[in-house]
Structure 1
Amino acid sequence: MILAPMVDQSEFAWRMLTRSFMSPESSENLLAYTPMLHARMFTETPKFRDHHFQPTRSGLSSPPKAEDPLPDLYLDGHPEIDRPLFVQFCANSPDELLEAARYVEPFCDAVDLNLGCPQGIARKGNYGAFLQEDWDLIYKLINKLHLNLDVPVTAKMRILESKEKTLEYANMILSAGASLITVHGRQREQKGHKTGLADWSVLRYLRANLPPDVVIFANGNILRHDDIFSCLEETGADGVMSAEGNLYDPTIFAKPPPIGHEGQEYWRGRDGKGGYRMDAVFRRYMDILYKHVLEKPPPTRPPLFLPSDPQPDAPPTTANESAQNEGDDQPPAKRQKRDKKSTSPNLLAIQPHLFHLLRPLITKHIDIRDALARSRAGDIPAFEHVLQLVESAVKDGLLDYDSDPAKYEDSSIPDAKEQEANLDKDESSVATVKACKRPWWVCQPYVRPLPKEALENGSLTLSKKDRRMLEEERATEKVRCEQGRKSEREELDERDGMERGEVVRDGMVAG
C-alpha cells in the first residue's frame, strides 16, 4: 500500500494521519511519498527547502555528510515514525537533481523522479509528464542518481498512446537504473474533467512483458479500500498507490472494524455500509498537529457523541448566552491575536485538506464551509472552532439517522445491473456514485463525472477539432457495432495477446 506524492498535500502530518488508522504492523508496511519538490528551487533557495522538507530542527544549510551525526531529527523521514519514505523531485537537469537528492538522501529510502505531472505549470517548466518526448534526458536524470546515490532511484510515469510504446518507455526507465516504476494508468491529457478511467489493461500488459523481478506499483481507479485488492488482482502489480482517494478519505488503507466493534470513530448503517466519522478523523488530525508540529498537548476533549449516550436535559438559556451563541459562527481568531504567518508545510496544508475531507458535510452545512474558508494557516483556534461546528453537525446527523434511517437510503439511483442495461459502463458514473455514497458525516470518495457526462452537463467543452474527432470515433464505433465487429480496444488487446479483464467500476478516479 502506497500513499502517493501530491503537491503540498502528502506532507508529514497527513502521512501520520493516514498511518494512524492502520495497525502498527500494517502502518510499518505503508510506503509514503513526500509532496513533489522542485529540484532546482530546492537547491538554490534555502527558504524553499526549509519550508518544504523539515528532517532536522536546524534545517539543511548544505547536503549532510555521511560521517556527520544528525542529533536534531525533527519531522520528515524520522526513522521511528515516518518510514518507509520516498522523496519525489521534478527536474530537467541531471546535475540539479543529484544536488537536490544529496540533501534528502540520509532521511529517505529512495529518491523518485516525477514523470507524471500533467499540469500546465509542468509544461511551462518542462518537467513531469512533459519530459516523456525526451527519452535521452530522462535516461540521464535517472542514471545520474543511480550511479551517485547510496539509496535507490525510482520513477513515476504515465502510460503512452499504446501498450507497446508504454512498454518500450518503461524498459528505458528501468535500463537507466530505476529500481521500480509506478505506472499511472492514464495518459498525460487525462486530467480535470477529462480524467476518465485509468486503463488497468496496460498495467497488466506491462506486468506480463517485463521481467518478473521488476517491481511495479499501480496508480489510478482507487476510490475505496476494496479497490486496492481488485487492482492487485487485475493488474498483477506489486503494490497499489492512492492519491485523490486518500485526500477524501485518509482511512482508505485501513481495514474496517468487524461488525459490532465500531467504537466511537467508525459509523455503520443498517445496510452494512459504513466509514470513519469526519469529526473523528478531524480530531485525530488536529491532535497530530499539536503533538508533532506544535509540540504541545492537545486540548482535553469530551468523548465523541453516540446516539446511545444518555441525553442530558437542555439547561435554560439566558439572554447573555443567547447573544453569545448568535456569534458562534464567527471563528475565535477574529477575537484573538493570530500567530505570526506560518511557513510550516503541515500548517499551510490544513485548510485544503479539510476542504477535501469535509466535502459532503460542508456542501450541506454552508456555515461550516464559510467558517473554514475564513480560517488561515497557523490559526489553530479558528480550526478548533471549525472542529466544534463539525462535531455538532455530526451529532445532529447521527440523531437524525437514528430517528429515520430510510431518509438516507436513496432508492432513486439505479443499481449496477440497471445501469448496465441502459448505459455504456464507460459513459456513466451513476453506479459508482451509489456504491461509494455514504451519509454526509462519513468519510467517502469523490466520484468525478466521466468525460462524456461532463460534456453533457456542460462542465467540459471541446474544441472544434476535438468535437470533430469525437464524432468520427462515434461513427466508426457505430459501424463496427452494426457489422458485429469487435471494438478497436478489443482488437488491440487481441493483437497483443492479452484478454481484457473487466475493470472494477467502483474504482474510478483517484490519483
Structure 2
Amino acid sequence: MPKLQGLDFWRTTLREARYVVAPMVDQSELAWRLLSRRHGAQLCYTPMLHAQVFVRDANYRRENLYAEVCAEDRPLITQFCANDPEVFLQAALLAQDHCDAIDLNLGCPQMIAKRGHYGVFLQDEWELLEKMVKLANEKLSVPITCKIRVFQDVGRTVRYAQMLEKAGCQLLTVHGRTKDQKGALTGIADWEHIKAVRKAVSIPVFANGNIQHLSDVERCIQETGVHGVMSAEGNLHNPALFEGSSPPVWEMAEEYLEVVKQHPPCTLSFVRAHLFKLWHHTLQIHQDLREELAKVKNLEGLAEVSKQLRLRCQEEIAREKEGTLERPRGDLPFPHWMCQPYIRPPPKELVPNVKSQDSELKKTASHKRALEDSDGAPDTLSKNKQKKKARNPHKNFCPEHKPKYMKCEQCGNPKGNKCVFDLCRACCKKKAYKEVADCPSHGLRFKTKADRQRAEKERAGGIKETEPPDGSQGLPETQNTEQGQAVL
C-alpha cells in the first residue's frame, strides 16, 4: 500500500483529528496521553526525543517509545530533534513501526536547543532542513511532519512553510510565536501568521498557541481555517479541555494516578510535575502541602498528598455552603479546586511589530532582581535557594566559592575531576572502550573485564590440554584400560 500523503494522511490515518495534545518534554508520556484521549483528545505526540541518543542507546529507545506501545494510544506521532539528515533518518527508521508519523521539531526555543543546535535555532538553515525533510520523506514508510515557529515577517513565514511542503512535509504545525517569544516575553501567539500559512500550502495545518478553553479551539479553527488545534499548557492544567469541561482537580489527579498504575513504568518526576500543574492554583493557598508534594519519594506518597488536597478542598466547599467560609475573590474564573488554565502575565508595555522598541521591551520584560549578596542572606536569595538553605543551613551560594569546572577537550561539557583521560563521562567511555582501558573515576572497567575474560579462557585452555590429543576421554587412575593395565 502506498504511503498516504497530505490531506489523505490526515483524513485516513489521523482520522481527521482536530483536538491535538502537543509534544511536551517529560510531560506527554503514555499515561498522560491516555488520560487526555479519554477526555476528548484525538491525536497525541510523544515527548521530543533526541535523535542521536535514540540511535545509539537501546535503553533510551525502550524507555521512551518501545515500552509505551499501546493499542489505545493511536494515532500517535513521534517527535525528534535533530540537525543531521542521516542521524534523523536512522532514528526515524527505528521509530516508524511504533507510530503513525515522524515529526521534526523546529519550534523549541529553549537554551538547551540553542546549545544543541536544534529546534527553532535551525529555522534560518533552509538548505539543511530541506535535505532532512526530503531524505526522510523518500526513505520512511510513514509521513514526515514538522512543527515550526513563525518569523516576524509574515511573508518569510509563508515562504518557510512552502519550502518545507515542497521538501516533503505532509503536515505542518505552526506555533504563532517567534523564536524570542518565551519566558517573560511569551506574549500572545499571532493567528494571522497561521492563517497566512494555511492559505499558502495545500497540506494540513495545525495551529498552536493561545489555547486555554474549548471556545479558543473553535474560534481558532474559525478564524484561521486550520484542520486542527494543538494545546500544551492548557492541556496540562486541564486534560478535559477538549471536552469543554472543568472538572474538580482531584478527579483528574486520581484518574491520572490510576492510569499510571495500569501502565508502568512511569518516571516519578513526570507524575510529580503533572500533579503540580493540576493542583497549581490550590497549592498557592495550601503551601505546606506544596512542600510535601516536592519531598515525597514514591507514587503512594504523591497519591497521599493529592488526597489531602482533595479533603481540604471538600472541607472548603462544605464550609462555603454553610456560609461559614467566604471564598476570596481573585482573578480565577472558577474556584481554585476546578481545572482551569494558568494565564501568564503579559510582557510589560508590549508593542507588537515595533522593531525600534524591541531592545527596550526585552530589558523591561526580562528584568531580573539585583544580584544576591555574597554572604547569602536569606532575604536576598531566590525562593528556590531559600528552600535549599533551609534543608542545608551551611550551604553557601556565593559565586566565588562555587567550584570551577574544566571543560572536556572533545565536547566542551564539564570533565571528570579524576578522569584518567581528562574527559567527560560520555567521551571517556568511548575512549576507554576503544583503547580497552579503565577509568575508576567514571566507573569504567573495560581493561579489568578483558583481563578477567582472558584469564578465564586461559584456565579453560589449560583444562583442555590435559585431554588426549586423539580426542578420547581421559580415564581416572583407578580405572583399567582395554588391555587390563591400570593407569598409573
State the TM-score, normalizing by the size of structure 1: 0.64
Deviation at 1:46, TM superposition (A): 2.1
Q: Show structure 1 runs of 4+ deviating over 3 A.
A: 344-348, 404-410, 468-471
Deviation at 1:286, TM superposition (A): 1.0
* Superposed counterparts of 1:104-253, under 5 Å: 104-211=95-202, 214-253=203-242
Structure 1 counterpart of 2:251: 280
Structure 2 counterpart of 1:438: 334
CA distance in 2, matches of 1:290, 1:189: 39
Any idea what the Cα deviations from partners look like across 1:164-211, whole Å, max 9, x if unmatched? 000000000111100010000000000011000000111112222333
Which structure has more RCO (C-alpha within 8 Å, separation ≥ 6)?
Answer: 1
Structure 1's 352 and 109: CA in aligned 2 closer, same or farther, altered over 3 A?
Answer: same
CA distance in 2, matches of 1:182, 1:97: 19
CA distance in 1, matches of 2:276, 2:263: 22
Q: Which amino acid aligns with 1:466?
A: S
Structure 1's 247 and 107: CA in aligned 2 closer, same or farther, altered over 3 A?
Answer: same
Structure 2 counterpart of 1:352: 273
CA distance in 2, matches of 1:470, 1:201: 27
CA distance in 2, matches of 1:14, 1:468: 37
Structure 2 counterpart of 1:467: 360
Deviation at 1:121, TM superposition (A): 0.6
CA distance in 2, matches of 1:39, 1:288: 28
SS of 1:223's equivalent in the other structure is coil
1:34 pairs with one of 46, 71, 90: 46
Structure 1's 106 and 468: CA in aligned 2 closer, same or farther, altered over 3 A?
Answer: closer
* Superposed counterparts of 1:246-325, under 5 Å: 246-256=235-245, 275-293=246-264
Deviation at 1:406, TM superposition (A): 9.3
SS of 2:103's equivalent in the other structure is strand
Q: Does 1:391 align with 2:403?
A: no
CA RMSD of aligned residues (A): 2.3
Paired residues of 1:122 and 1:130 also in contact (CA < 8 A): yes
Q: Which amino acid aligns with 1:34?
A: T
Structure 2 counterpart of 1:19: 37
CA distance in 2, matches of 1:197, 1:190: 9
Paired residues of 2:162 and 2:200 also in contact (CA < 8 A): no
Any idea what the Cα deviations from partners look like across 1:318-343, whole Å, max 9, x if unmatched? xxxxxxxxxxxxxxxxxxxxxxxxxx
Q: Which amino acid aligns with 1:374?
A: K
Q: Which amino acid aligns with 2:54?
A: F
The higher radius of gyration belongs to 2
CA distance in 2, matches of 1:255, 1:151: 32
SS of 1:86's equivalent in the other structure is strand
Structure 1's 466 and 2: CA in aligned 2 closer, same or farther, altered over 3 A?
Answer: same
Deviation at 1:347, TM superposition (A): 3.5
CA distance in 1, matches of 2:259, 2:207: 29
CA distance in 2, matches of 1:408, 1:205: 45
Structure 1's 142 and 41: CA in aligned 2 closer, same or farther, altered over 3 A?
Answer: same
CA distance in 2, matches of 1:117, 1:141: 17
Paired residues of 1:105 and 1:111 also in contact (CA < 8 A): yes
SS of 1:154's equivalent in the other structure is strand
Paired residues of 1:158 and 1:186 also in contact (CA < 8 A): yes
Q: Does 1:3 align with 2:21?
A: yes
CA distance in 2, matches of 1:469, 1:98: 38
Any idea what the Cα deviations from partners look like across 1:406-461, whole Å, max 9, x if unmatched? 93484xx7xxxxxxxxxxxxxxxxxxxx5x62111111100001111799xxxxxx
Q: Which amino acid aligns with 1:393?
A: R
CA distance in 2, matches of 1:125, 1:35: 17
SS of 1:253's equivalent in the other structure is helix
Deviation at 1:470, TM superposition (A): 8.8
Paired residues of 1:51 and 1:345 also in contact (CA < 8 A): no
Structure 2 counterpart of 1:89: 80
CA distance in 1, matches of 2:158, 2:253: 42
Deviation at 1:465, TM superposition (A): 7.9
CA distance in 2, matches of 1:453, 1:32: 36
Q: Which amino acid aligns with 1:46?
A: A
Structure 1 counterpart of 2:301: 382
CA distance in 2, matches of 1:251, 1:469: 35
Any idea what the Cα deviations from partners look like across 1:24-47, whole Å, max 9, x if unmatched? xxx5xx110000000001111223
Any idea what the Cα deviations from partners look like across 1:262-294, whole Å, max 9, x if unmatched? xxxxxxxxxxxxx2111111110111111222x
Structure 1 counterpart of 2:326: 407
Structure 1's 366 and 198: CA in aligned 2 closer, same or farther, altered over 3 A?
Answer: same
Deviation at 1:54, TM superposition (A): 3.2
Paired residues of 1:11 and 1:346 also in contact (CA < 8 A): no
2:282 pairs with one of 361, 368, 391: 361
Structure 1's 360 and 465: CA in aligned 2 closer, same or farther, altered over 3 A?
Answer: closer
Paired residues of 2:106 and 2:148 also in contact (CA < 8 A): yes
Structure 1's 44 and 405: CA in aligned 2 closer, same or farther, altered over 3 A?
Answer: farther
SS of 2:79's equivalent in the other structure is strand
* Superposed counterparts of 1:414-453, under 5 Å: 434=331, 437-452=333-348
Structure 1's 405 and 96: CA in aligned 2 closer, same or farther, altered over 3 A?
Answer: farther
Any idea what the Cα deviations from partners look like across 1:348-370, whole Å, max 9, x if unmatched? 30011111111011110112111
CA distance in 1, matches of 2:87, 2:33: 27
Any idea what the Cα deviations from partners look like across 1:458-485, whole Å, max 9, x if unmatched? xxxxxx98128999xxxxxxxxxxxxxx
CA distance in 1, matches of 2:181, 2:230: 18
Structure 1 counterpart of 2:65: 53
CA distance in 1, matches of 2:75, 2:204: 16
Q: Which amino acid aligns with 2:287?
A: I
Paired residues of 1:39 and 1:100 also in contact (CA < 8 A): yes
Paired residues of 1:9 and 1:35 also in contact (CA < 8 A): yes
Structure 2 residues without counterparts, runs of 5 or longer: 1-18, 352-356, 365-488
CA distance in 2, matches of 1:191, 1:381: 35
SS of 1:147's equivalent in the other structure is helix
SS of 2:263's equivalent in the other structure is helix
Q: Which amino acid aligns with 1:42?
A: F
Structure 1's 468 and 383: CA in aligned 2 closer, same or farther, altered over 3 A?
Answer: closer
Structure 1 residues without counterparts, runs of 5 or longer: 56-74, 257-274, 294-343, 414-433, 456-463, 472-511
